[in-house]
Structure 1
């Protein structure tokens, strides 16, 4: 490993520790909070759309988001580890079979829609979502056992 790769790996470790980047891919609808500086003021601006591409290249990783604004398609490429990207939020998971969705550029209206993933296994749930799902499942099982025990007790009397 050469010096540049070592430095890049070190920087990537620092950035990953301080920034929470969700697991997302092409087809997912995401909201990106971008820092905008106007004169002396700084504010956050949301850019919400479909992620049509993701480039994984270490520090140079980037993703492309496409949205329709006033009937016109707008695409924006965001560097993943940029200090101007304040936050990334996944709104919904898309069910696609391609890594790059450039074909959406030529489509409008209903033909540009993407199916939503509904299967929990495919949806790439993050650790927090898995924990919540596990606690809900445990609560349901406990309620089911209590109901069965009450029914058995009622029959026994």
Structure 2
């Protein structure tokens, strides 16, 4: 467990561009499946399965390798995927997204608990990494103090990851919660798990968080066109702030260039793994992931089941 201070700029731009292009390709695939021919009707179950497998890149993003060729090693990636599947057989690593409320239990020799276990509850503000280096960050406000923990998802000291509330947010990272009122980051430690009906889509929380007045940890007024989950009451309080923002958005500067990054298809191609390689990976690990996911859903449903009590 380590505290983490990361800049949201590069990850936000990359994920915004990646998500827009992936949504376009997914819409195109769905349009092709709307009017199947006779040959397509015969292979309809396989195509549906292939389409759901491609959705795995959002559910299990750590199984996709780094897109940079100089960081690729196919033998290491194959061995890591095998280790990740073996690790998932030992602990519960359910589906979750940025914005979900999680409870993480780790083995801690300094814990006062008799079993030397430590449990932390919080909201996931970011996740990243690939392979065995996958990580995620939880944030909570404890006694008026913001607390954040970074967890390595496949660390041997990790005992259990429990999803208390499964949902998504408008942005792919929530670092602006550090500059928001405490109630937007507070998660009760006794929060009961909420089990979604089987087959229900993941709910999207459209809340827009109002940020506190300055000072901020980041210059959030520069990213209002990219990030939609927060609002600013007075972004330019002084003439100097206005002039600096005008220079930031001037033609040729970084703020001006950021408005056109989402249309850069070559940048998108360099920052993503080709769909053909993704299909090969999901063919390798998809069956085991699907079986394990069903097992965890059954166990979660049994835990949430409350036997009715007899009325006296």
**Normalised-by-shorter TM-score class:** 0.5 to 0.7
| Aligned twin of 1:135 | none
**Alignment match of 2:201 (pick from 113, 121, 125):** 121
| Aligned twin of 1:68 | 141
Aligned residues: 127
The answer to whether the 8 Å contact 2:126/2:173 transfers is: yes
Tell me the SS of whatever aligns to 2:95. Answer: coil
| TM-score (ref. length: structure 1) | 0.67
The Cα of 1:123 is off from its aligned counterpart by 4.2
CA distance in 2: counterparts of 1:10 and 1:111, whole angstroms: 38
| Aligned twin of 2:177 | 104
Q: Which runs of structure 2 are paired with 1:46-85 in the superposition (5 Å)?
A: 46-85=119-158
Choose between structure 1 and 2: higher strand proportion.
Answer: 1
| Aligned twin of 1:25 | 97
Q: Which runs of structure 2 are paired with 1:3-22 in the superposition (5 Å)?
A: 3-22=75-94
Once superposed, which parts of structure 1, at least 4 consecutive aligned residues long, lie more than 6 Å away? none
In structure 2, do the counterparts of structure 1 residues 110 and 70 end up closer, same or farther at CA, with 3 Å as the change threshold?
Answer: closer
CA distance in 2: counterparts of 1:61 and 1:35, whole angstroms: 19
CA root-mean-square deviation = 3.1
| TM-score (ref. length: structure 2) | 0.36
In structure 2, do the counterparts of structure 1 residues 65 and 111 end up closer, same or farther at CA, with 3 Å as the change threshold?
Answer: closer
The CA deviation string for residues 52-109 of structure 1, in whole angstroms up to 9 with x for no partner, is 1111411111110001012111111000011111101111123411111111111013
Q: Which runs of 5+ in 1 are unaligned?
A: 133-157
CA distance in 2: counterparts of 1:29 and 1:111, whole angstroms: 12
Q: Which runs of 5+ in 2 are unaligned?
A: 1-72, 188-193, 205-292, 302-312
